[in-house]
């Protein structure tokens, strides 16, 4: 009878518990790792590491790597790799340096030129991968060597035989765009904080921290934008779908080709942004810039929860993966440990992250 009938709830409407929802978040492992690494250094490192200046000290290399890691993570979620992103830092540094020094271009022209060249190379990478069906690992490995070699040859041409191009700081001095890509931001705020006693000062009253390095601002902004795109836009859904099952996504109307080429272009532009920032800070560029950063960026993305098979991951996870790198790289200098333990940590964190992410995925999906 109707009055005694049991109302059976559709399983699709069943609410998940908090624990299950947390386990589904790809950045869970990276956040847990960040907490553990922080606890380790709180116990073993000199107290200066966690002062404001100490935090900014390890945040700076973390931000430079993190911008690359966000680009790598977005591409991995889309089911592809870019092993040329480190060499792109050197090549884009050449394009930018030659633009401002050799050609005398203002930043308003040199920066878009550098980004356009990087995006073009990213589009070439993506087009070759999609047209030939070759693994992106192989195609971008080839471009790793092509771009590194082109950087060497180009620098010799631009500097009369040298593999280093100097004079960049002098060339951009006084340009109104320079503060967006070099130096520290929010300087007046830190002067005010020093005046009211919230920031440490030297004996002459000058604040020990004069501002936030601009690469940290770029890192946070790019992370927020990438997270918004992934979680709040149709394009983000297309990225996950393209990386999860390319054929199914294509059959569902997802423009897989356009999505993947866009991701290759984005990853290349992340390399170009790092190149512009580091070249302007150093005042010179060289062919070794960005060396091995492609592997560190991919490892940071994997630590952040990205699967090597695509279709899973987050920009927030890559953010924390990069923070772990920066903290360990600089943090070991505040301890009595040999700094070469960083290499051991690198391999160990990669292995643990892959095992952890694989376990969580199987736990959530019920795979055996």
Per-residue pLDDT reduced to its tens digit, 225-250: 999 999 999 999 999 999 988 889 99
Both tokens assigned to 359: 């376990």
At residue 122 the predicted structure's pLDDT band, cuts being 50, 70 and 90, is very high
172: left (phi over 0), alpha (psi -120 to 50) or beta: alpha
Interior/surface letters 236-270, b for 16+ CB within 10 angstroms, e for the rest: bebbbbbbbbbeebeeeebebeebbbbbbbbbbbb
Position of tokens 């030659």? 98
d(CA 19, CA 31): 15
Per-residue pLDDT reduced to its tens digit, 93-114: 999 999 999 999 999 999 999 9
Domain 29-37+47-358 in CATH 2.60.40: no
| Low-confidence winner among 49-58, 106-115, 194-203, 283-292 (lowest mean pLDDT) | 194-203
32: left (phi over 0), alpha (psi -120 to 50) or beta: alpha
Mean pLDDT of 73-96: 95
Neighbours of 127 (CB within 10 A): 15
Per-residue pLDDT reduced to its tens digit, 22-67: 556 777 778 888 888 899 888 888 888 888 888 999 899 999 999 9
Mean pLDDT of 252-259: 93
Query: Are 245 and 311 a contacting pair, CB within 8 Å?
Result: yes
Please, what is the angle between helix 293-303 and helix 341-365, to 10°?
A: 40
Look at residue 306 in the predicted model and tell me its pLDDT.
87
Query: Are 331 and 58 a contacting pair, CB within 8 Å?
Result: yes
Look at residue 24 in the predicted model and tell me its pLDDT.
66
At residue 310 the predicted structure's pLDDT band, cuts being 50, 70 and 90, is confident
Spans of all domains in the chain: 29-37+47-358
Neighbours of 85 (CB within 10 A): 33
313: left (phi over 0), alpha (psi -120 to 50) or beta: left
Pure H helices in 283-314: 293-303
Q: How far is CA 110 from CA 103, 147, 171, 276, in A?
A: 9, 19, 11, 10
Report the chain's mean pLDDT, rounded to a whole number: 87
Beta-carbon contacts of 73 under 8 Å, excluding residues fewer than 6 positions away, are 226, 300, 301, 304, 306, 313, 314, 315, 317, 318
Mean pLDDT of 69-88: 95
Beta-carbon contacts of 155 under 8 Å, excluding residues fewer than 6 positions away, are 94, 162, 163, 164, 165, 285, 286, 287
Position of tokens 């399983």? 11
Position of tokens 């921290």? 209
The dihedral built from the CA positions of residue 143, 74, 213 and 109, taken in this order, carries a sign that is: positive
Pure H helices in the chain: 18-23, 28-44, 52-77, 85-97, 107-132, 136-158, 168-172, 187-195, 214-232, 234-244, 246-251, 256-282, 293-303, 315-331, 341-365
């Amino acid at each position: 009878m109707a009055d005694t009938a049991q109302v059976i709830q559709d399983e699709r409407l069943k609410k998940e518990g908090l624990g299950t929802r947390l386990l589904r978040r790809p950045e869970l492992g990276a956040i847990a790792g960040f907490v553990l690494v922080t606890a380790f250094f709180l116990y073993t490192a000199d107290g200066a590491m966690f002062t404001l200046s100490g935090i900014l000290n390890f945040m700076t290399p973390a931000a430079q790597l993190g911008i690359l890691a966000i680009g790598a993570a977005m591409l991995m979620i889309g089911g592809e790799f870019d092993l040329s992103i480190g060499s792109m830092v050197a090549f884009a540094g050449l394009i930018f340096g030659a633009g401002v020094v050799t050609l005398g271009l203002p930043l308003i022209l040199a920066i878009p030129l550098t980004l356009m060249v990087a995006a073009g190379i990213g589009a070439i990478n993506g087009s070759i991968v999609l047209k030939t069906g070759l693994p992106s690992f192989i195609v971008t490995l080839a471009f790793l060597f092509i771009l590194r070699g082109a950087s060497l040859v180009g620098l010799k041409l631009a500097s009369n035989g040298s593999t280093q191009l100097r004079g960049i700081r002098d060339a951009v001095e006084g340009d109104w765009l320079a503060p967006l890509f070099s130096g520290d931001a929010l300087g007046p705020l830190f002067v005010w904080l020093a005046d009211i006693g919230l920031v440490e000062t030297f004996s002459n009253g000058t604040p020990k921290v004069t501002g936030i390095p601009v690469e940290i601002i770029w890192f946070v902004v790019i992370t927020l934008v990438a997270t918004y795109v992934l979680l709040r836009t149709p394009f983000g859904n297309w990225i996950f779908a393209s990386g999860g099952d390319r054929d199914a996504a294509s059959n569902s109307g997802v423009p897989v080709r356009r999505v993947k080429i866009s991701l290759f272009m984005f990853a290349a532009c992340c390399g170009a942004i790092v190149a512009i920032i580091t070249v302007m800070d150093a005042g010179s560029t060289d062919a070794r810039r960005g060396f091995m950063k492609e592997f560190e960026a991919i490892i940071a993305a994997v630590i952040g929860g990205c699967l090597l098979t695509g279709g899973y991951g987050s920009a927030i996870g890559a953010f924390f993966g990069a923070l772990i790198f920066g903290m360990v790289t600089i943090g070991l200098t505040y301890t009595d440990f040999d700094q070469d333990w960083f290499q051991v940590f690198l391999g160990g964190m990669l292995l643990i992250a892959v095992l952890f992410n694989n376990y969580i995925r199987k736990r959530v999906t019920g795979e055996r």
